[in-house]
Amino acid sequence: MDETAIGADLRRGPFRPGDKVQLTDPRGRLNTIVLKPGDQFHTHRGWIEHDDLIGAPPACVVASTSGVEHQAMRPSYEDFVLSMPRGAAVVYPKDSALITTLGDVFPGARVVEAGVGSGALTLALLRAVGDTGSVHSFERREEFATIAAGNIADFFGQEHPAWQCTVGDLVEELPAAVEAGSVDRVVLDMLAPWECVEAAATALTAGGMLVCYVATASQLSRTAEAVRASGLFAEPRALESMVRDWHLEGLAVRPEHRMIGHTGFLLFARRMAPEAAPLERTRRPQGTEPTEADRSAWFDPEVTEHAIGQRTATPKKLRRLIRQTGTRARIEAEQAGESPEPAGGDEE
């Protein structure tokens, strides 16, 4: 199968039922809609018929009933991720870009991902490995796995043949799921990646890369110390990215007042060959060694979503999000005269 086959047709040609369309009004306000025959998109200044967009070319201009013009575009990867249903915090596109590039995720790569969340990073990994590679995701919460599956199907227009998801704990499930030394990249987006360092090292091939995404400095420190203590990886590298747009209007060219600042830290480490020991980097001696009290304050507290400031979606919201995903498949089934499968549980 051609590496660009999955989802490529959805990026070309006229708008179809089930497509997501990003509408931009003259003031720059964005709205993302899912096209369904007979539906309408209402604004405070008239409405737009979905039928006026279905069959129209992308990047066209459509007017509401009151004459207000809107620019219609297919969402980019960034637009899709930031507007898709999500029950967990997503990996921002700026971080996904670094994970796939600095993590050297190549076409045909075999990737293991832990912490699928809502599927934002999974989308980037699947596009990077292509149809000839594989992404095997592990997620503890079945609701998150279901939401991610719906978002992936909406983005690519079908289930991606390179993706597989296992509901369960990475440390417990990984040894049975993949052969030792057969994985090119392991990406950990989870609360305690240091607990999975040994399992990731066993799965990785020599020269393979471990990539960890964490929210706080204490998580970063604990992960780096675990990677070094394992003796299985070369010296880790850590970084973060910040993106600032610029305001462009005539001669008023200046940075925007708002920017995407800290979202998370990234840690990269290369797997050493089984018989090779990593080189110890020479460092200047510290003035004082940390006390046991210092270490306990840094390493002993339990890391929870609440402790690091992440919000957890309620079960009711998760059920609603599950119903919102997979809309493309349901609309296509309705158009074909088939009975669409239910998308989730009942509303409370």
* 347 pLDDT more than 50: no
The residue with greater pLDDT, 9 or 252, is: 252
Beta partners for 265?
A: 214
* 311 pLDDT more than 50: yes
Strands 204-214 and 183-189 turn out to be parallel
Please state the φ and ψ torsions of residue 347, each to the nearest 5 degrees. Answer: -70, 140
Fold adopted by 9-75: Vcp-like ATPase; Chain A, domain 2 (3.10.330)
Q: How far apart are CA 149 and CA 94, in angstroms?
A: 22
318 confidence band (pLDDT: 50, 70, 90):
confident
Q: In the chain, what are the domain boundaries?
A: 9-75, 80-276+290-299
Q: Give the CA-trace dihedral at 253, 254, 256, 261, to 10 degrees.
A: 130
The residue with greater pLDDT, 258 or 238, is: 238
Beta partners for 244?
A: none
In this structure, what token pair is assigned to residue 341? 């499968």
* 163 pLDDT more than 50: yes
Average pLDDT value for residue range 213-229? 95
Provide CATH code, domain 80-276+290-299.
3.40.50.150
The residue with greater pLDDT, 333 or 120, is: 120
On whether the CB atoms of residues 319 and 343 are closer than 8 A, the answer is no
Average pLDDT value for residue range 159-166? 94
Q: What is the 3-state secondary structure (H, E, C) of 251-298?
A: CEEEECCCCECCCCEEEEEEECCCCCCCCCCCCCCCCCCCCHHHHHHH
Please state the φ and ψ torsions of residue 96, each to the nearest 5 degrees. Answer: -60, -40
Q: Whole-number mean pLDDT of the chain?
A: 88
- What is the structure's pLDDT at 195? 95
5 confidence band (pLDDT: 50, 70, 90):
low
On whether the CB atoms of residues 147 and 318 are closer than 8 A, the answer is yes
* 199 pLDDT more than 70: yes
